[in-house]
Structure 1
Amino acid sequence: MSKKVTVLKKLVKGNKSNLSLNFYPPVFNRKTGKYTRYEKTSYFLYNDFQSEIIYYNDSKGKKQSKVEIIKDKTGNPRKLTLTPAQKHHNKEILEAIELLRAKRFREITKPDIYTEAELKTLELAENKKKIFTEYFKEKAENATSSVGAWKACYGYFVKYYNNVLFSDINKTLIEDFKNRLLDTYQLKSTKHKLRRNSAASYFIRFIQVLEMAYEDNYLSQSFKGRIGWIEEEEVMKNFLTIDECRTLFTTEFSDETLRRYCMFAFLTGLRYSDINNLTWEDVVVRDKISYIYFRMQKTSAFQYHPISEEAVNLMGERTKKSDFVFDRIAYHSLNDNLRKWLLKAEIDKKVTFHNFRTSYAVAQLEAGADIYLISKMLGHKNVTTTEIYAKIVDKRKVSTINNIILGI
């Protein structure tokens, strides 16, 4: 197939035409990773006639625009006299665009002088000169899961490092950032140190973005497995027993929306974000069993979640598919009212709304449910995440050893 590179003129308002290159067949653009037939340039020519923008409605009534040559009464283009400077400009531009056209033609017709591996090495050398901080920011802003952790991780990085190049990334810098996470204060506080488990979560994201950069050919080596993780502390989560939940739910309180949220969370184990964004389109019935089919807000994973009749009754009457099942409520407002409700119910425990998820897991385990099934219901990627709830149950078992005493 013969290859061609031609110059295209595009009429614009006034007395100018912009110049671009047209490729046949389309050529591969390394920057975009796509094939293209056009290359824009900054070159333009002065015309010896005038043009203007014409607005019109197409067959569908949609407003469109086009550039047309202004004509005189005889129907011929209205002529202009070019100045000597404009004529000189046109001469130089025609020479420049022809040189560019010839250069592009040579590039697409000559044999490849580099192997694929050599091209990758050349690309890596150029990429290393680019700013890693900007790349990190883009990845954090476009994260689809654990969005808060990604943004916080980026926030801590730019707190200590600014305009870091990819060539600056090495084991020393990574270890330094890890140590800073372990010894820093919270971004929005000068009084409270960053918790170790939060630091561990943020450091995981940092290693992930480095792995992305390696896969995108910005780094020459992968640091995955070469840097030690931050070991998380084992934290025993707060929860309410099923009896405490019954006490709370039967204690009168003015906020009915809060009551429905808390009961639904305890009966299903769903997070606040998933309940708050639940629509009727997500609720389906199969063989008289109700299911919630939705994408989890935190992990972006799809979840097919069967729910009990009690949970179904809390949702109320079905309305339009796009309607939210529950009245929406801000998380901070929900927790503020929950504290007041716990106080009224005389339950002396520091729990937040998220702890109903823990309460659900503990209640299921104590009822004899399989830990693997609970892991799936909670949407955990790994059953080891669920094992923390099993340890809570084990501790509660130990507390019963003195319940039966013979006293002989």
Structure 2
Amino acid sequence: MRGALRQKKLKTGRYSLYIDYYPPVWNPIKKEYTRREFLKLYLHVNPTTSLQILENNLYTEIAEKIYIKRMKGLMLDVNGIFNQDALEGDFFEYAKNFIAGKQREKIDTVHYETAMKYVKKWVGDNLKFRHIDEILLKKFKDFLLTTDSLKSKFAKLKQNSAASYYDKFAAIVQEAFYDRYLTEDYTLRVDRISNVDVDRQIPDDAELQLLLENPCEDELVFRSSMLALLSGFRFSAVKILRWNHLHYSPPLDAWYFQIIDPKPSRSFRQYISKQALEILGERKGTDELIFPDLEYHRTRRILKAWFASVGLEEKGKFHNWRHMYATKLIEEGEDIYVVKTMLNHKHIQTTEIYAKVPAKLRVKASRKANTEHLN
């Protein structure tokens, strides 16, 4: 493994200092091999003032020190020896690049980003790799289980959310170990935060009937809600629907939406019923939004008031339409893998949240448990 400190003349008339590696070296941040590392240090071509001469000498000295440090690190790496200099690296910068890599892979990174916000809330803006060990991981767990939600200082962060954020932080720490920024994988020494069963406040059939008998007066919120109920779309998907997303398949005699689903950021085809099609109303310009001016906070406020008007305020959440859609499919005996596809879930474990035996089926089963010997 060899390298050389070189200069590249720029159009500005200055020289840019860089290290030329040969053969190419692996860049763990960009996840690719590279020949050149530009140091963001620049020299004056023909220094004429004492200040320019001083700058040239200073930047050359800095570049040489960086070069020696890089060559030392590569030598240790080639010989299988951990490079202690890596411990001085900025973990937040590493996490930022880790998340950017996930985004390039079209992976949803919202929970990764939120996890790092909680890390910053806890430790501030300075976190180096040398600070990370099993003690820090345990303390971060304790912090997540006691801290307030970023959404409201009056609400404690829920345990399942804490579990998700810890897992995302641990995944970045583990990747840093694989990239040789840490001497060991500390995540193996610390148990993850366990999830707890949540009693989801979802309207049942009788409550849905009550809502429909007393419909929301806001036509936009009502129609968008009904489409979510009949399609399983999240609010983020309903909001971006345009008329040119809607298509008809003659062989299947079926209507469907073809969109990039915002939450998982991947292509998704969702077939809809004729009842859902009627909710959309009269078709307009191809590029027009189906629900123009649909805004989350306004929708949330109106939805809360609608549900509260029939005594269901705690269940007034837009996402509950999606829960009701999934629960209905399960109750009707639909295969869980079909439900997984209809919800655009990546993992079957996510869909299994809805697969708990519905009360209606449990009541039906209980009536089969009678014994004739008691009669």
TM-score (norm 1): 0.70
Q: Note if 1:239 corresponds to 2:239.
A: no
Gaps of 5+ in 2: none
The aligned counterpart of 2:89 is: 130
The aligned counterpart of 2:112 is: 150
Q: Note if 1:42 corresponds to 2:42.
A: yes
Counterparts in 2 of 1:9-408, with a 5 A limit? 17-19=13-15, 28=24, 33-35=33-35, 42-46=42-46, 86=48, 117-118=77-78, 121=81, 124-136=83-95, 139=98, 144=103, 147-162=109-124, 163-223=126-186, 225-287=188-250, 288-345=253-310, 350-391=315-356, 393=358, 395-399=359-363, 401=366
Contact 1:269 1:378 in 2 (8 A): yes
After superposition, the C-alpha distances for 1:91-150 in whole angstroms (9 at most, x for unaligned) are x79x97xx99xx9xxx9xxxx99669427756x433211121343356568864555433
What is the rounded CA distance, in whole Å, between the counterparts of 1:223 and 1:164 in structure 2? 16
What is the rounded CA distance, in whole Å, between the counterparts of 1:226 and 1:128 in structure 2? 19
Alignment: residue pair count = 352
Q: 1:352 to 1:26 in 2, by over 3 A?
A: same
Q: 1:171 to 1:403 in 2, by over 3 A?
A: same
After superposition, the C-alpha distances for 1:245-264 in whole angstroms (9 at most, x for unaligned) are 34423434321111111111
Q: Find the residue that maps to 1:306 and give its secondary structure.
A: strand
- What amino acid sits opposite 1:118 in the alignment? V
- In the TM superposition, what is the alpha-carbon distance from 1:197 to its structure 2 partner? 0.8
- What amino acid sits opposite 2:355 in the alignment? A
Q: 1:380 to 1:11 in 2, by over 3 A?
A: closer
Contact 1:27 1:37 in 2 (8 A): no
CA-atom RMSD, angstroms?
Answer: 4.3
The aligned counterpart of 1:68 is: none
Contact 2:242 2:286 in 1 (8 A): yes
Q: Find the residue that maps to 1:128 and give its secondary structure.
A: helix
Which has the higher mean CA deviation after the structures are superposed, 165-174 or 340-349?
A: 340-349
Contact 2:134 2:187 in 1 (8 A): no
TM-score (norm 2): 0.75
Contact 1:26 1:36 in 2 (8 A): no
- In the TM superposition, what is the alpha-carbon distance from 1:398 to its structure 2 partner? 3.5
Q: 1:240 to 1:120 in 2, by over 3 A?
A: same
Gaps of 5+ in 1: 48-85
After superposition, the C-alpha distances for 1:319-355 in whole angstroms (9 at most, x for unaligned) are 4454322223222221221232234456576231111
Contact 2:308 2:316 in 1 (8 A): no
- What amino acid sits opposite 2:114 in the alignment? A
Q: Find the residue that maps to 1:369 and give its secondary structure.
A: coil
What is the rounded CA distance, in whole Å, between the counterparts of 2:217 and 2:73 in structure 1? 77
Contact 1:131 1:164 in 2 (8 A): yes
What is the rounded CA distance, in whole Å, between the counterparts of 1:190 and 1:20 in structure 2? 48
Contact 1:141 1:151 in 2 (8 A): no
What is the rounded CA distance, in whole Å, between the counterparts of 2:308 and 2:295 in structure 1? 20
Q: 1:316 to 1:136 in 2, by over 3 A?
A: same
What is the rounded CA distance, in whole Å, between the counterparts of 1:113 and 1:353 in structure 2? 53
What is the rounded CA distance, in whole Å, between the counterparts of 1:348 and 1:229 in structure 2? 34
Contact 2:227 2:279 in 1 (8 A): yes
Question: If each structure's helix is expressed as a fraction of its own residues, which one has the higher value?
Answer: 2
Contact 1:5 1:22 in 2 (8 A): yes
What is the rounded CA distance, in whole Å, between the counterparts of 1:278 and 1:26 in structure 2? 51
What is the rounded CA distance, in whole Å, between the counterparts of 1:172 and 1:38 in structure 2? 36
Q: Find the residue that maps to 2:248 and give its secondary structure.
A: strand
Q: 1:404 to 1:349 in 2, by over 3 A?
A: farther
Q: 1:23 to 1:134 in 2, by over 3 A?
A: closer
Rg larger in structure = 1
Contact 1:120 1:217 in 2 (8 A): no
- What amino acid sits opposite 1:42 in the alignment? Y
Contact 1:249 1:263 in 2 (8 A): no
The aligned counterpart of 1:62 is: none
- In the TM superposition, what is the alpha-carbon distance from 1:383 to its structure 2 partner? 2.3
